[in-house]
Chains A and B, each alone.
Chain A
């Protein structure tokens, strides 16, 4: 495959996996946790680098998963000690992120790992760093990682689809019939962390927040059905990734930044044109005024 094709494939994989995870994120009202985890993942990567002195995929994923769980645990713990949910998120992620930045600035700053790269990602370097895989042939490492993560995300969500739905929409019912709600919460946050770290190389820590939240929020304006919402969110993710890439090429600027911006454009279109929740239908339409349940169902 050509250079551009690899970039587009990588970006689309980011769009799909973030899109799927994002739907559950916003329905569980955990959007700001994604922001927190995407920041603290940096510390996990730096720690993994300090311990192993390599930037190979698997160490980074393990480091990120561990920091993701630590972040989730700390936020829960402070919350149980009487700090408000948003304040405890704010305390935990800013501190851990600051430690990560300081470690990079003082100890490990080198050509392979710098703050700029960690924050913005550099998708244009992705196709150069390839690895040989038996069936697929020579493919970029970041793409392979994203592929594996996507399969894991689809497996975990698909296998326990009913349980995810139940814990998302009615946690108390789920708890009463014996589903481990807290365990599912931690499992989900682990999924968020590995998705974040796999997307890290391509779009960077902060842009991944845009990819996680915005396509899902746009999809939420179009449909009430969970499966449709997942499909829409993943497609919005892919569309904004591709749009963002070509826009960045056109005016010659940061690719990840313009991808994040593209998700915003898609949201704006949804915000104006959505059939039932959009600005246009609210201003002019008389149809669809029938009150509907506010939660998606299928």
Chain B
């Protein structure tokens, strides 16, 4: 228990909380662009970049590794778009391909790094499943600042994002560059993914972007409320998952964060007040009763008339 009181842990907790909020917000944008799985492809594609940067420069500074991760994730996104636009291969196939091939390349490089003595101690393996406990204070700072930047970009541009997602033609009429918005969207998506790779890991990072918006959707029909809820759900998942993994020794952080957000999803699925299963079945029953009563009333009227 004492570990929960240590200041190092509390800083880590703050950074995963911010990460969760950022991921929840950006995930909402991805959800409405119907690109939830894009984040999965991007996070896998980030692995070779991380390892390559380490091989080239032998540094373990999170910020530098993140630059490598961003470059290779962007390269992956570019390849997906290129394949989709120039051949008849569909987007999901292209995503699956890039995801697996880039990850394979990453594993090849990672195995090489692990064979060298410096590489073995660098703990690059933590990037696969995430290890919040391995974060040092400079990592925490980098993560928090970047997460806040992402949150800031989404929040100040809220109106523009709404137009961009739901009425791009109107947005064009207002002189809003759709192409520019697309680029910013891709950049913050990549940024969110790479910010999370140390704490959550490349394999499960996408879950933090996918699950909170889907859960939030059960509670509201308003885009704004959905954004806030999604951010809150993401934040809770990040914080709770980190706490649970810190209580054990050597437990990976990513899976616990994901299972936490999975539980929030299950609760939302059943109890959500707008689309939840319980509410839906109650509405269905009420409607049935109403229709039935109407029919009974009609037949009584008919009999009275005849």
| Residues of chain A having any CB pair with chain B under 8 Å | 26, 29-32, 34-35, 81-84, 86-91, 94-95, 97-99, 101-102, 105-106, 115, 119-120, 206-207, 209-210, 212-214, 217, 220-221, 248, 251-254, 256-261, 263-264, 267, 271, 277, 279, 282, 294
A210 touching B100, Cβ below 8 Å: yes
B241-255: CB near A (< 8 Å → 1, else 0) gives: 000000010111011
B211, A91: Cβ atoms under 8 Å?
yes
Does B100 lie within 8 Å of A98, measured CB to CB? no
- Cβ of A162 to closest chain B Cβ, rounded Å: 24
* Distance between Cα atoms of A217 and B83 in the complex (Å): 10
B233 within 8 A of A: no
CB within 8 A of B255: which of A82, A87, A105, A207? A105
Residue pairs across A and B with Cβ atoms less than 8 A apart, 13 shown, are: A35-B96, A82-B275, A90-B214, A91-B265, A94-B210, A120-B107, A206-B44, A210-B97, A251-B112, A258-B104, A260-B100, A260-B107, A267-B101
Q: Kindly identify which residue among B36, B93, B101 contacts A86, using a CB–CB cutoff of 8 Å.
A: B36
Specify which chain A residues have a CB less than 8 angstroms from the CB of B217 in the assembled complex: 83
A263 to B104, CA, bound (A): 10
Known: A98-B254, A209-B100, A263-B101. 16 other contacts (CB 8 A): A35-B100, A81-B277, A88-B214, A94-B262, A95-B259, A97-B203, A97-B204, A97-B258, A120-B107, A207-B100, A213-B100, A217-B97, A220-B89, A253-B112, A261-B108, A279-B86
Residues of A within 8 A of B93 (CB): 26, 29, 31, 213, 217
A98 to B260 alpha-carbon distance, docked (Å): 10
Residues in A neighbouring B146, C-beta threshold 8 A:
none
Interface residues, chain B, CB within 8 Å of chain A? Answer: 31, 34-37, 40, 44, 83, 86-90, 92-97, 99-112, 115, 128-129, 203-204, 206-207, 210-211, 213-214, 217, 248, 250-252, 254-256, 258-259, 261-262, 265, 269, 275, 277
Chain B nearest CB, measured from A252 CB (Å): 7
Complex Cα distance, B94 from A31, in Å, reads 9
Residue contact B107 to A267, C-beta cutoff 8 Å:
no
Are B89's CB and A217's CB within 8 A?
Answer: yes
A225, chain B: closest CB distance, angstroms: 15
Chain A residues, CB < 8 A from B34 = 84, 86-87
Interface of A (DSSP majority class): helix
- A106 to B250 Cα, complex, angstroms: 10
- Contact among B86, B95, B99 with A282 in the assembled complex (CB-CB below 8 Å): B86
Q: Which residues of B contact A220 (CB under 8 A)?
A: 88-89
Complex contacts, B110 vs chain A, CB 8 Å: 254, 257
Query: Among the interface residues A82, A84, A91, A214, which one has the most CB atoms of the partner chain B within 10 A?
Result: A91
Query: Is B262 a contact of A26 with CB atoms below 8 Å?
Result: no
Give min CB distance, A32 to chain B, whole Å: 5
Measured CA separation A120–B109 after assembly (Å):
13
Which listed residue (A86, A106, A253) contacts B248, Cβ 8 A? A106
4 smallest A-B Cβ distances: which pairs?
Answer: A260-B104, A257-B107, A264-B101, A94-B207
With A26-B89, A31-B92 already in contact, the answer to whether A105 and B251 are too (CB < 8 A) is yes
| Chain A residues whose CB sits within 8 angstroms of the CB of B251 once the complex forms | 102, 105-106
B262 neighbours in A (Cβ, 8 Å): 91, 94-95, 98-99
Q: Are B258 and A94 in contact (CB under 8 A)?
A: yes
Query: Which of A26, A87, A120 lies at the interface centre, i.e. has the most chain B CB atoms within 10 A of its CB?
Result: A87
Q: Known: A95-B262, A217-B89, A257-B108. Is A209-B211 also a contact (CB below 8 A)?
A: no
Q: Give bound CA distance, A95 to B88, whole Å.
A: 32
Q: Which residues of A contact B112 (CB under 8 A)?
A: 251-253
Residues of A within 8 A of B90 (CB): 26, 29, 31
Q: Which of A83, A89, A248 has the most CB of B within 10 A?
A: A83
Nearest CB of chain B from residue A242's CB, rounded to whole Å: 15
Q: Closest residue of chain A to B95, judged by CB? A: A32
Q: Shortest distance in angstroms between A188's beta carbon and chain B's nearest beta carbon?
A: 16
Tell me which residues across on chain B come within 8 A of A259, comparing CB atoms: 104
Given the contacts A277-B87, A279-B86, A83 and B92 also touching, CB distance less than 8 Å:
no
The reply to whether A221 and B87 contact each other, CB–CB distance below 8 Å, is yes
User: In the complex, what residues of B have CB within 8 A of residue A84's CB?
Assistant: 31, 34, 36
Are B96 and A254 in contact, CB atoms less than 8 angstroms apart? no
Q: Which residue of chain B has its CB nearest to the CB of A295?
A: B88
Q: Are B36 and A210 in contact (CB under 8 A)?
A: no
Whether B96 contacts A209 by the Cβ 8 Å rule is yes
Question: Chain A nearest CB: distance from B270 CB in Å?
Answer: 11
Contacts of B92 in A (CB 8 A): 29-32, 86
Smallest distance from the beta carbon of B193 to chain A beta carbons, Å? Answer: 13
Establish whether residues B252 and A90, one from each chain, have CB atoms under 8 Å apart when the complex forms: no
A102 touches B259 (CB 8 A): yes
